């Protein structure tokens, strides 16, 4: 019998556990961006003139957007230091990837070059190493779960070297595990639901412990059975989506009622089940898995009004046993937007799934929309993404907290070229 665990997720947890951090140490010496940490250069005032601005639904007629230091200013074009000609261009908020696993500090540069200005990592087994991704002014902003609750007998635990002291055991104390994660600086908690992973009663205890701290909890759940376990106790953000069947209406209504959101990570399923089916056994998808369920479930959740967040499960470059897996950072988020549109979201809804929606549901109210006072995380496009979602890849300029990132990707077809 094949394991009903989505092995890529295990690989990703391991990335954070072992692979990436052995690289990260060397990277500190070699890589410039770490020097930028906490350094805020004087920025002054930038006016982007005659640009059409995404308001969540459509693009406004041409107007001027002013960046004042790290935020969007009110309309006042006096004393401008830099003027940008926005004629014929389209301004959207910086994009967010709500499910990622970083490998090395240069990943932040790659992400920024694709206009991705905030990422949410979904596991961290070495807090010192994860902290190195935080606070690089002018680069993509980083948030992370802590050591996720991985069951001691689970596939994740067997195949990857999660320290026994961090594993979840049948008699583990939920409050202690949750406290450890948040005392180590986790931004939210993560539970890895799979065969021999935490049970429903463990899920209930963990969710309760997280909520009693006023924090949010995410859960890996890539099959129907696991998704139900995650939905029932009110886990805030189920990650992935069932690949082996259709969600029933009562589960979806429950998500609505409990104010849950979904980060379906269509990209990783599309990769494993469609683009390179030879990877499917390696990914451990259960018997009967089919991308049609992934697509239909996203469409269903969306039609019922469950908030959908764009996330990729991208892993970047990993050396070793899994070097054959190709799920790069940056371009995959643009790919996710294309797949969300394919599943039934409008282009505007897909862009919102990577901007205002994650800002709201990850409770980061300082970003995700273009409005006075918000962080100046901006992506200027040459083409209209509401006419063709692929135009999010047609990048002109990128700003993170008001600082322009010079080396943006100009390759509209990067995904195609690389595939
Ligand atoms: C921006 O312009 C103002 C007014 O001309 C000037 O006082 C300020 O020093 C400039 N700031 C930068 C960072 O160049
Ligand atoms: C701005 O760009 C447009 C389109 O390329 C061009 O026609 C216009 O002359 C430019 N305006 C300025 C002030 O350079
Ligand atoms: C955690 O990461 C830090 C920084 O890279 C490293 O020095 C340390 O050895 C790592 N700890 C473990 C247990 O791998
Ligand atoms: C998991 O932990 C429990 C309790 O410590 C133990 O009884 C069980 O044998 C463990 N399972 C595996 C597969 O290690
Ligand atoms: C951080 O996590 C480790 C492992 O879970 C735990 O032993 C330690 O007590 C935690 N640190 C704090 C300050 O809670
Ligand atoms: C529908 O979903 C709920 C979870 O909300 C689950 O408990 C129930 O068993 C499901 N019903 C069917 C018929 O699968
Ligand atoms: C610009 O980005 C590309 C792609 O990430 C990279 O190969 C190149 O070295 C970067 N150039 C500079 C000057 O940073
Ligand atoms: C967007 O790009 C993808 C991948 O390159 C391609 O398959 C698709 O047809 C394009 N979609 C549109 C609407 O042009
Ligand atoms: Zn993941």
Rounded Cα distance, 251 and 282, in Å: 29
Ligand 2 centroid – CA 396 distance (Å): 15
Q: Whose CA is nearest to atom 1 of ligand 7?
A: 407
Q: Kind of pairing, strands 116-121 and 141-144? A: parallel
Residue nearest to atom 2 of ligand 4 (CA): 169
Residue 243 near residue 222 (C-beta atoms within 8 A):
yes
- Alpha helix (H) ranges present in 81-172? 106-113, 127-131, 155-159
The domains of the chain are located at 3-32+95-361, 39-92+368-418
**CB of 129 closer than 6 A to ligand 3?**
yes
Cβ of 88 closer than 6 Å to ligand 1, yes or no, is no
User: Does 372 sit in the ligand 2 pocket, CB within 6 Å?
Assistant: no
Structural tokens at position 260? 């849950």
CA-closest candidate to residue 338, choices 262, 405, 414: 414
* pLDDT value for 316: 79
Ligand 4 contact, 170 CB (< 6 A): yes
Q: Give distance in angstroms: CA of 178 to centre of ligand 5.
A: 10
Structure confidence at residue 412 (pLDDT): 57
Averaged pLDDT in 10-residue chunks for the chain of 419 residues: 30 30 25 46 87 98 95 86 96 98 90 97 93 93 96 83 92 97 97 95 98 97 96 98 97 98 96 83 80 98 98 75 68 97 98 98 97 97 97 96 90 49
What is the residue with the minimal CA distance to atom 3 of ligand 1? 79
CA–centroid distance, 313 to ligand 9, in Å, is: 5
Is residue 363 lining ligand 2, measured as CB closer than 6 Å? no
Atom of ligand 3 nearest to the CA of 22: 5
CATH number of 3-32+95-361: 3.20.20.140
Q: Whose CA is nearest to atom 6 of ligand 5?
A: 180
Ligand 1 centre to CA of 403 (Å) is: 15
Nearest to 353 by CA among 185, 144, 361: 361
Backbone angles phi, psi at 390, to 5 degrees: -60, -15
Q: Which of 15, 98, 23 has its CA nearest to residue 313?
A: 98
Task: Say if CB 217 and CB 207 are below 8 A apart.
Answer: yes
Q: How far apart are CA 56 and CA 357, in angstroms?
A: 10
Look at ligand 3, atom 11, and give the residue with the nearest C-alpha.
126
> Can you identify the CATH homologous superfamily of domain 39-92+368-418?
Urease, subunit C, domain 1 (2.30.40.10)
């Amino acid at each position: 019998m094949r394991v009903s665990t989505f092995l890529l997720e295990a690989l990703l947890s391991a990335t954070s556990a072992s692979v990436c951090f052995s690289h990260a140490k060397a990277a500190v010496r070699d890589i410039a961006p770490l020097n930028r940490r906490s350094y805020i250069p004087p920025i002054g005032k930038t006016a982007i003139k005659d640009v059409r601005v995404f308001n969540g639904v459509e693009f406004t007629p041409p107007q001027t957007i002013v960046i004042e230091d790290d935020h969007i200013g009110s309309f006042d074009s006096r004393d401008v230091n830099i003027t940008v000609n926005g004629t014929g261009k389209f301004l959207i908020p910086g994009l967010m990837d709500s499910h990622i696993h970083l490998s090395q500090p240069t990943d932040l540069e790659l992400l920024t070059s694709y206009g991705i200005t905030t990422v949410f990592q979904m596991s961290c087994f070495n807090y010192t190493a994860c902290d190195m991704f935080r606070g690089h002014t002018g680069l993509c902003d980083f948030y992370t779960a802590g050591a996720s609750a991985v069951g001691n007998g689970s596939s994740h635990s067997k195949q990857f070297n999660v320290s026994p002291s961090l594993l979840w055991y049948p008699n583990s104390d939920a409050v202690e595990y949750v406290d450890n994660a948040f005392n180590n600086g986790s931004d939210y908690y993560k539970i890895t639901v799979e065969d021999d992973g935490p049970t429903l009663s463990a899920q209930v205890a963990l969710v309760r412990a997280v909520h009693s701290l006023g924090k949010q909890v995410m859960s890996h759940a890539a099959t129907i059975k696991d998704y139900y376990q995650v939905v029932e106790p009110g886990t805030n953000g189920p990650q992935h989506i069932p690949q082996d069947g259709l969600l029933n209406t009562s589960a979806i209504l429950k998500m609505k009622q409990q104010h849950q959101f979904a980060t379906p990570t269509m990209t990783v399923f599309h990769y494993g089940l469609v683009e390179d089916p030879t990877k499917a056994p390696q990914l451990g998808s259960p018997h009967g898995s089919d991308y049609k369920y992934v697509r239909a479930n996203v469409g269903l959740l969306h039609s019922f009004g469950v908030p959908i967040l764009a996330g990729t499960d991208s892993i970047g470059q990993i050396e070793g046993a899994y070097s054959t897996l190709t799920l790069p950072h940056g371009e995959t988020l643009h790919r996710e937007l294309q797949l969300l549109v394919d599943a039934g979201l409008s282009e505007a809804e897909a862009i919102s799934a990577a901007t205002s929606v994650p800002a709201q549901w990850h409770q980061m109210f300082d970003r995700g929309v273009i409005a006075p006072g918000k962080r100046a995380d901006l992506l200027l496009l040459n083409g209209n993404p509401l006419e063709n979602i692929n135009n999010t890849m047609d990048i002109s300029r990128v700003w993170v907290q008001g600082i322009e990132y010079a080396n943006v990707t100009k390759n509209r077809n990067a995904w195609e070229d690389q595939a």
